[in-house]
Amino acid sequence: MAIILQTERLTLSELTLSDAPFIVALLNSPGWLKYIGDKGVRSISDAERYILNGPVKSYLENGYGLWLVSLTATSIPIGLCGIIKRDTLPTPDIGYALMPDAYGQGYAHEITLAVYRHAVSVLKIPSLCAIVTPGNTRSVNVLLKLGFTQQPDIVLPGSTDEVLYFIS
C-alpha cells in the first residue's frame, strides 16, 4: 500500500485489490448511489475490475486517481478521495465519497483540502474543477469551504442531466 499523504486523522493511499470488499460496500452505499450513480459493482470480482480499470489505470497513466481514505489511528477505510482526469472537462477534477458513518465529522473537508494542496504543490496541477449532482449540499459546502467558485451548470457528454460545476 503506497501512502500518498496523511493528515491529522486520515491516511490517503493507493487502492489495491485487497480493498475490493470495501469498494463493494462504498459503491453500494446510499450516498454513492444517489449522488454518483450505480456503477454495477456487486461482487468482489466487480470491485477488482473497478479498481484495476479506474484508479490503478489512472495512477499509471496520470500519476494520480481516486485514493483510499482510512482513519490513521485504526486503518479502517472510510471512503475515497482524489483527482480524476476526464476528457470531457478542461482540468482534472477533485472528487470524494465517504461511508455514511463518516459523515458530519469534518473528514470530507480535511481530506479534500489535503488532496487539493497535494495537487497544486506536488503534482503541479494549477487548477482543479469539480462536478456535483444537484441536491448534494454537503459536497457543495465542502467545495465552497475549499475556495472553489460555482460556475454555470453543465451537461456532461453522454448525459442529459445538468451537474453543478465548480473551479478552483
Residue 152 DSSP SS3: strand
Alpha carbon distance 34, 43 (integer Å):
19
**Residue 157, CA distances (Å) to 46, 136, 151, 154 in order:** 25, 21, 17, 10
Alpha carbon distance 166, 130 (integer Å):
5
Number of domains in the chain: 1
Answer whether residue 49 is part of any domain. yes
Answer whether residue 93 is part of any domain. yes
Model pLDDT, residue 23: 98
Answer whether residue 165 is part of any domain. no
Asked if pLDDT for residue 159 goes beyond 90, the answer is no
Answer whether residue 121 is part of any domain. yes
pLDDT tens-digit map of 111-155:
999 999 999 999 999 999 999 999 999 999 999 999 999 999 999
Answer whether residue 158 is part of any domain. no
Residue 9 DSSP SS3: coil
Asked if pLDDT for residue 1 goes beyond 80, the answer is no
Model pLDDT, residue 158: 84
For 121, residues 6+ apart whose C-beta sits below 8 A from its C-beta are none
Q: How many CA atoms lie within 13 A of 10 on its CB side?
A: 25
Tell me the mean pLDDT in the region 3-13: 97
pLDDT tens-digit map of 64-123:
999 999 999 999 999 999 999 999 999 999 999 999 999 999 999 999 999 999 999 999
Answer whether residue 70 is part of any domain. yes
Alpha carbon distance 91, 84 (integer Å):
9
Answer whether residue 107 is part of any domain. yes
Asked if pLDDT for residue 14 goes beyond 90, the answer is yes
CATH number of the domain residue 74 falls in? 3.40.630.30
Full residue range of the structural domain in which residue 17 is found:
3-125
Alpha carbon distance 102, 99 (integer Å):
6
Answer whether residue 140 is part of any domain. no
